[in-house]
Amino acid sequence: MPLILDRLAVSSRFHQRVEEIRQFNTCNKWIKRGISRVPIFQEVMLRPTPGKVSILNDGSVVVEVGGIELGQGLWTKVKQMAAFALSPVECDGSKDLLERVRVIQTDTLSLVQGGFTAGSTTSESSCEAVRLCCHALVERLIILKERLLEEMGPVSWDTLIVQAHLQSVNLSASTYYVPDCNSMHYLNYGASVSEVEIDLLTGATSILQTDIVYDCGQSLNPAVDLGQVEGAFVQGVGFFMLEEYLTNTEGLVVSDGTWNYKIPTIDTIPRQFNVEILSSGHHKKRVLSSKASGRPPLLMAVSVHCATRDAIKEARRQVLSWSGLESGSEASSYSIFQLEVPATMPVVKELCGLDNVEKYSKSSVASH
């Protein structure tokens, strides 16, 4: 974590921007900016996951895993793992194995212990299950490949598979990956710096810039993991800043659609969004030294909430200055406030305190 925080402070120019924001706030009355740097860590857990890999007579590879594809790139990683794990028996001149692999949706008959897809670790567990299946297939095929090399010289992948079928080699393998106690739980680390700008008159909050450093271990697919980090962060912005569900006196939810339930949109994401996936070294107990990338980055959106609080604090300090109460018990109590989650526009506007200028001015005159 110290490495991540130091790296982020340098890449985001955190300390220099703190001073720049202070000067900006001094020169602007109706717009205030805030910045916050927040570290996060979250424990995740691997779960038992089944897998099945079959090589068909035409050389194509069919993969089944317990997890489902719901946009998190699980099947992409599984396909890559299958091609990577079968590469020891790939022959010269053969077609790229990755193009031959396809993942099919399983059911409770083909894989009876499918489990569930959740917690950001299903991709890792499924990839490990596929790796174990492919390892068993490689052990069966490598003997045949060596014999064919002696008899025929270099052979293609198609020839190898056809010969395997003719010689009754079992080209289907299934497994049930069960993580041991030492590798079942581990921690994910990350940190984010967010800078926001608030409008004191309306309470509107704009995210000017967010910088993230997140530890993915040795990423199974950097493009997929980058998208996971960015998407999770934006979901977190919705949670901390926008998505408020309201109920009526009977307890029924009234914010039942996008007309009155605000989710992140294209203008919600940071105007400048810098994400770095950090390779923190070799985690021998992880699946190919990888770490989860789905759920933990959501927590880093709290930096937007904290930066908003920082901007509100500056706005309230300005209100106290206008009312002539820059010190004393009133100023001390006014500097303490609770920023709710989500920090919607009305909440931010009220906490900025412009409506309290007249009240505090009158109280100041009365006290004198």
Cβ neighbors of 74 (< 8 A, separation 6 or more) are 65, 67, 68, 117, 122, 123, 126
If you average pLDDT over residues 244-269, what whole number do you get?
88
CATH label, 49-178, candidates 3.90.950.10, 1.20.840.10, 1.20.1330.10, 3.30.365.10? 3.30.365.10
Cβ pair 268, 205 in contact under 8 A: no
CA distance linking residue 72 with residue 287, whole number of Å: 17
Neighbours of 205 (CB within 10 A): 25
- Lowest mean pLDDT across 34-48, 252-266, 319-333: 319-333
The pLDDT, as a whole number, for residue 16 is 97
Residue 66 backbone dihedrals phi, psi, to 5 degrees: -75, -30
Q: What is the DSSP letter of 95?
A: P
**What pLDDT, on a 0 to 100 scale, did the predictor assign at position 56?**
96
pLDDT of residue 164: 95
pLDDT at 154 over 70: yes
Model confidence over 105-125: pLDDT tens digits? Answer: 888 888 988 878 888 888 999
Tell me which of 9-18, 93-102, 219-228, 311-320 is least confident: 93-102
Q: Which of 7-11, 97-101, 353-357 has the lowest mean pLDDT?
A: 353-357
The confidence score (pLDDT) of residue 366 equals 43
pLDDT digits (tens, 9 = 90+) for 16-44: 999 999 999 999 999 999 999 999 999 98
20 or 329: which leads in pLDDT = 20
Average pLDDT of the residues in 320-332: 65
Q: How far apart are the C-alpha atoms of 44 and 179, rounded to whole Å?
A: 13
Q: How confident is the model at residue 282 (pLDDT cuts 50, 70, 90)?
A: low
| Residue 313: CB atoms within 10 Å | 18
Question: What is the pTM assigned to this prediction?
Answer: 0.88
CATH architecture classification, 2-44+188-310: 2-Layer Sandwich (3.30)
For 199-247, what is each residue's pLDDT tens digit? 999 999 999 999 999 998 888 999 999 999 999 999 999 999 999 988 8
Provide CB contacts within 8 A for 250, sequence distance 6+: none
* Mean pLDDT within 151-162: 89
Q: How many CB atoms sit inside 10 A of residue 9's CB?
A: 17
pLDDT at 152 over 90: no
From-to residues of CATH 3.30.365.10 in the chain? 2-44+188-310, 49-178
Strands, DSSP E only, in the chain? 31-45, 49-55, 61-65, 101-103, 172-177, 185-199, 205-215, 272-278
Among 263, 264, 261, CA closest to 207: 264
Mean pLDDT taken over the chain: 89
Q: How confident is the model at residue 280 (pLDDT cuts 50, 70, 90)?
A: confident
Lowest mean pLDDT among 176-180, 182-186, 271-275, 326-330: 326-330
Element (H, E) at 177: strand 172-177
Q: Grade residue 362 by pLDDT with cuts at 50, 70 and 90.
A: very low
